[in-house]
Amino acid sequence: MTARIIDFLNTRRPEGPCLVVDLDVVRENFLAFAHALPDTRIFYAVKANPAPEVLRLLASLGSCFDCASVAEIDMALAAGATPDRISYGNTIKKERDIAAAFQRGISLYSVDCDVEVEKVARAAPGMRVFCRILCDGAGAEWPLSRKFGCEPEMAVGVLEHAQRLGLRAYGISFHVGSQQGNTEAWDGALASAAGIFETLAERGIQLSMVNLGGGFPTRYLKEVPGVESYGSSIDQALKRHFGNRIPETIIEPGRGMVGNAGIIKSEVVLISKKSDREDDPRWVYLDIGKFGGLAETMDESIRYPIRTSHDGDATAPVILAGPTCDSADVLYEKTPYHLPVTLSIGDEVLIEGTGAYTTTYSAVAFNGFEPLASYVI
């Protein structure tokens, strides 16, 4: 919570649930990444929060952009980024979208299989590709599936295939899982990347780049290591596995760039119980839920800090749910939150750390509810 956000909410009094993002915090986060990893290029993950004001600020600071679609590429270009500062980082692309990116001057593409390589070779001839490899994501609060990437052994063949088809086999990428709390999580993936570099060098292909992905956390209910700790661990791992031949590196922060810059203002719609038993917890229904932008509460993976005007009063466990006519719209039930017993219908609730993956996850009109409003200050 920043003074600027508090002042905005107190003076503007926006209606309905809304996200407020403080650009000063985004700026501080970018500079912290640049200081912690001075030799690494920053590619902001546009999907985390594509607000034009956020993109324009980051473009002005010299950020590059990791884009998952042609629409995101256009957003980055509109914000002032040049094509050489944009990566088409989705491994699942329609060939016509690759062609559209190529027409816009994009020269860097992600792949993880021979078939995707062939699409890039046809639609964006001669461009650079990097191959994403799988890693386990241990230690992440939002672990990733096996949807993206291939086994390290397979990556060698994928990049050889790219080279044969006239593309430039440029590097390796991986993602250690979102909200990664283990600063050493990059070590194993870097060991795999170094092995691929060595194998391909023996076959006459010189890779140049390691994409370290994202995973850098923001603070929710518990403390997380600072970005300097991640920078130090990554630097040590690079030296350990690559020695004096350190490759070009890039990172793709999303949550770590904008997560702590945002607050969602919500309202209590209903407080009720399911029985007359004294030990039965209250249900607190908010005017925002999983379908309104809090999708990352799925399986209670991300547990947001919640503030009320009654903080300091006695508390009791509650089950938190959203307003929609869908039984899946329950935020926290397995591990109930403790909220003030004085909390009442109509009270405002502030949900912290919501600058990332909220507006972009908000449904268009489920049950007729408007998408999550956003204000960038």
| The amino acid at 227 | V
Q: Note whether 86 and 65 are within 8 A (CB).
A: yes
What average pLDDT is seen over the chain? Answer: 95
Taking the CA atoms of the chain, what radius of gyration do you get in angstroms? Answer: 22
Confidence of residue 318 (pLDDT cuts 50, 70, 90): very high
Question: The whole model's pTM is what?
Answer: 0.95
Helix, strand, coil abundance in the chain, percent, nearest 5: 35, 25, 40
CATH for the stretch 260-376: 2.40.37.10
Q: What is the dihedral of CA 134, 252, 65, 356, to 10 degrees?
A: 110
CA dist 8 and 54 (Å) reads 17
Q: What pLDDT digit, counting tens, does each position of 335-369 carry?
A: 889 999 999 999 999 999 999 999 999 999 999 99
CA dist 50 and 65 (Å) reads 11
Q: Note whether 174 and 250 are within 8 A (CB).
A: no
Q: What pLDDT digit, counting tens, does each position of 41-96 carry?
A: 999 999 999 999 999 999 999 999 999 999 999 999 999 999 999 999 999 999 99
Q: Looking at the annotation, which residues are catalytic?
A: 325
Crossing angle (nearest 10°) for helices 95-103 and 114-123:
40
Q: What is the pLDDT of residue 177?
A: 77
CATH for the stretch 24-259: 3.20.20.10
- Both tokens of 30, joined, read 């970018």
Q: What pLDDT digit, counting tens, does each position of 106-163 carry?
A: 999 999 999 999 999 999 999 999 999 998 766 666 566 667 889 999 999 999 999 9
CA dist 296 and 289 (Å) reads 10
Residues contacting 141, CB < 8 A, separation 6+: 177, 178, 179, 180, 181, 217, 301, 302
Contacts 24+ apart (CB under 8 A), 26-30: 26/54, 26/57, 26/58, 26/257, 26/258, 26/261, 26/355, 27/57, 27/61, 29/227, 29/253, 29/256, 29/257, 29/258, 29/260, 29/261, 30/58, 30/61, 30/63, 30/257
Residue the block writes with tokens 């699409």: 119
Residue 357 CB-half CA count within 13 A = 21
Provide the 3-class DSSP secondary structure of residue 346.
coil
- Both tokens of 316, joined, read 């009791």
CA dist 199 and 191 (Å) reads 13
- Both tokens of 165, joined, read 């088809």
Q: Mean per-residue pLDDT for 304-312?
A: 96
CA dist 284 and 281 (Å) reads 9
Q: Note whether 64 and 86 are within 8 A (CB).
A: yes
CA dist 269 and 349 (Å) reads 11
Q: Mean per-residue pLDDT for 220-234?
A: 89
Domain ranges for the chain, please list them.
24-259, 260-376
Q: What pLDDT digit, counting tens, does each position of 203-218 carry?
A: 999 999 999 998 888 8
